Amino acid sequence: MNLEIPIYKKFKTRFSKNVIFWILNNLKYGEVISYSDIGRNINSKAYRAIGSILKNNPYPFIIPCHRVIKNNGTIGGFMGKSEESWETNLKKKILILEGLKL
Residues belonging to the chain: 102
Name 38's Cβ contacts closer than 8 Å, sequence gap at least 6: 19, 22, 23, 47, 50, 68
The pTM score is 0.88
d(CA 13, CA 1): 29
3-17, 27-41, 46-60, 61-75: which has the minimum mean pLDDT?
3-17
19 part of the active site: no
Q: Tell me: the pLDDT tens digits for 77-96?
A: 888 887 788 999 999 999 99
Nearest to 53 by CA among 14, 20, 5: 20
- What's the helix, strand, coil split of the chain in %, to 5? 45, 5, 45
The full set of domains in the chain, from first to last, is: 10-97 (1.10.10.10)
Catalytic, out of 33, 65, 69, 75: 65
